[in-house]
A and B are shown apart, each in its own frame.
Chain A
Amino acid sequence: MLASTKVMTLVSYWAVISARFRSLLQYRSAALAGLVTQIVWGIIRVMIFQAFYSSTTTEQPMSGREVETYIWLGQAFLAALPWNIDTDLRSLIRSGGIGYELVRPVDLHTYWMSRALAWRTAPMLMRSIPLLVFAFMVMGMAPPATVAAGAAFMISMCAAIVLSSAITTFLNVTMLWTIAGDGITQLTFGLVLIFSGMLVPLPLFPDWSQPLINAMPFRGLVDTPYRLYLGHIPASDLPQHLAHQLFWILAFVVAGRIALSRALRRVVVQGG
C-alpha cells in the first residue's frame, strides 16, 4: 500500500517534469539563438586559451587540447547551470497565480524541484546536441578518454543537473521574500561562473585557492563531470566526487525546504 502510494507520488512529479519539459521545447528560436551565441563564445574562449598556451613555457596542469574540450563541454551544457530563476514562477509570484501552486496536493518543494529539473534540462538538450556535433566535426573536440571515463561523466553529469536544479529551486524560493529575485540571481551567477570552472577550468586556478574551490558546491556543476570526461580525474575516483555532489544536493534541498516552509508562514499572496 505504502509502496504503491510512493509510486503514485512519483507519477505526479514525473508528470510535472514532462509537462514543463514539453512546454519549454516550444522555445525553439531561443534555443537556436542560444546555440549560435554559444558557438561564437566557444570559439572566442578557445582562441584566448590558445594564445595563452602558445605564450607559456611552464608546464600547465591541463593540456591545451584538454582545455579546448573542457570549453566545448561547457558551451554545450551552459543552459544546465543554475544561472537564472524560473521566469514562469516569477510571474506566478508577482501576479498572485502562486495561489494555484499552493492548492495542489503535492509537496511544494519537490514540485518546484521537478519544474526546475525540466527547466534545466529542456533548453540544455536543445542546445547541447547540435553544439556537440559541431564541436566534434568542426572544432576537433576530443571524445571521452576511455569508455569508463564516458560512463563516469554521464553519471556525474546527471548529478550536476540535479545539483543545479536544487540550487535553482533554492533561488526560486528566495523569490517569495524578494519578489524580484534579481539580486540573489546575479550574485549566484557570479559565484557559479567563477567557481564552477565555467570561466577558467578549475585546475588552472592558483594552488592556494584549490582547497577553497574544492569545498564549494559549484565545482560539481562543471569541473567534476568534465574532468571525468577528460580522464583528468580517473573514473575510479568517481565515488568520492559523486559524494561531494550528493552532499551539496542534500544541503541545498534541506536549505530550500526550510526557507520554503518559513516563507509560506509569512507569504502574502498578492492581489485581492
Chain B
Amino acid sequence: MPQIIVENLVKHFRVSQRDTGVLGALRGLAHRRYETVKALDGVTFEIGPGELLGYVGPNGAGKSTTVKVMSGILVPDYGRCEILGLVPWKDRSRHVRHLGVVFGQRTQLWWDLPVIESFDLLRDIYRVPRHEYVKNLDEFVAVMDIESCLDTPVRQLSLGQRMRCDLAGALLHSPKLLFLDEPTIGMDAVSKVAFRQFIKRFNRERETTVILTTHDMNDIEAICDRLMIINSGKLLYDGGLDALRQQMSFERSLVVEMTDAGSPQVHPAAQLAMMNGRRVHIRFDPKQISAAALISDFTAHNDVDDLFVEDPPIEEIIARFYEGNDVG
C-alpha cells in the first residue's frame, strides 16, 4: 500500500512579463502580459513507506512545486494527490501533523530565540507528549552534536549547525514523512557528510519516508535508494540509481597504474583516453567489451601495478539525461 499517491498532477503559474526600460514599465501599467509556466505537467508516482527517495531536476523543473503540493502549501490545478489517505491541501491541518519539512536556505527556528525555545515551541505546536519529546531531543542532541547550540540564538549559529538544528526541529514530533528541499545547499563538505548520515539513520531506524530534493548528486549517491528526475514539469526517470547508470552510461574508465612508463597495448574495442606518467586512463563501452575481459586482456599484454574501474560522475549522467530528453 503506497503512502504517497500522486497522479497526473498539473500546476501552471501565470508570470507577469514586463518590457525593459521606462516605456516598458509604463506599458506594463496599462496592459500586463502574462506568460504561463508549466511547473507541473502531468506528474505521476507512488512512494511506499520507509523509502528514501532523491528528487532531482534543474532549477525551475518543478521539484519544489511538487514538494509544496505534497505539503499542502500549493493547490494544484488538476490531478490527484493522496498522502496517508489524506488530500494535503484539503486536510492541511491533519496532514501536516505527520509531516516534517526542511526548506534549505530558510529556517523554521525563531531567529531571535535560543534554539531550545524554538524546540519547546514546536513541541507545543505539534502537541508532542512530554516523554516522546524528551526522548527525541536527547537522541537528536547526542547524534547530531547540537548540545552546544541549544542555548544560542539561531542568528548566531553557523549554517551547518543551523541546518542540523532545523532537521532536529523537523523530527521532534516523530513525523512519518520528511520532506527535505535542498537541505545541503551552501554546506561545507564535512557538514554535508554528517547531515546525510543523520537522514539515512532516521530513515532506517524509524522507517520515516524521506523525499530529498537536491542539486548535489553526491547527496543522492550517498543515501538514496530511488531517484526521480524531473524536467519542465515532466517526470523523466523513476527508478534505481544503478539502473540509470546502466541505461545512461555508455562509457566507463579503466584506470591503470603501470609498472613502467611507456605506451601500453590497448584492446581495439577500448581506447586510450589519457596518459599521465605511469597512470593510464582507458575508456570503454561495456556493451562492446566487459570490464573483466578488458582487464584480463590488458594485464596479459602489459605489466600492471594497480588498476580500478571508474564510473562517470553522476552529474555527467544526469546532465546527459537532461540533454537526451530535450533533444528527444
Contacts and interface: CB of A to CB of B under 8 A. Distances in A.
Bound together: yes
Interface of A: 8, 11-12, 14-16, 19, 22-23, 26, 88, 95-97, 99-100, 102-107, 265, 267-269, 271-272
Contact of B121 (A15, A100, A103, A105): A15
A4 B57 CA distance: 46
A268 B74 CA distance: 7
Contacts of B64: 271-272
Contacts of A19: 110, 113, 117-118, 120-121
Interface string B52-88: 0000000000011101100111110000000000000
A22 B68 CA distance: 31
Contacts, number: 83
A16 B72 CA distance: 22
Contacts of B125: 12, 15-16, 104-106
Given A102-B71, A269-B68, A271-B64, A15 B124 contact: yes
Given A103-B73, A272-B63, A23 B113 contact: yes
Nearest to A97: B106
Nearest to A9: B127
B93 interface: yes
Nearest to A91: B111
A100 B106 contact: yes
Interface of B: 13, 63-65, 67-68, 71-75, 92-94, 96-97, 99, 101, 103, 106-108, 110-113, 117-118, 120-121, 124-127, 181
The 6 A-B pairs of least Cβ separation, nearest first, read A272-B64, A15-B124, A23-B112, A105-B97, A100-B108, A97-B106
B124 A11 contact: yes
A18 to B, nearest CB: 8
Contacts of B113: 19, 22-23
Contacts of B99: 103
A272 B72 contact: no
B124 A105 contact: no
Contacts of A8: 127
Contacts of B96: 102-105
A95 B105 CA distance: 10
A99 B106 contact: yes
Name, among A96, A97, A103, A105, the residue most crowded by chain B CB atoms within 10 Å (CB to CB): A103
Contacts of B75: 265
Given A99-B106, A272-B64, 16 more contacts: A8-B127, A12-B125, A14-B124, A16-B124, A19-B121, A23-B113, A96-B106, A97-B106, A100-B106, A102-B71, A103-B101, A104-B96, A105-B96, A105-B97, A106-B93, A268-B13
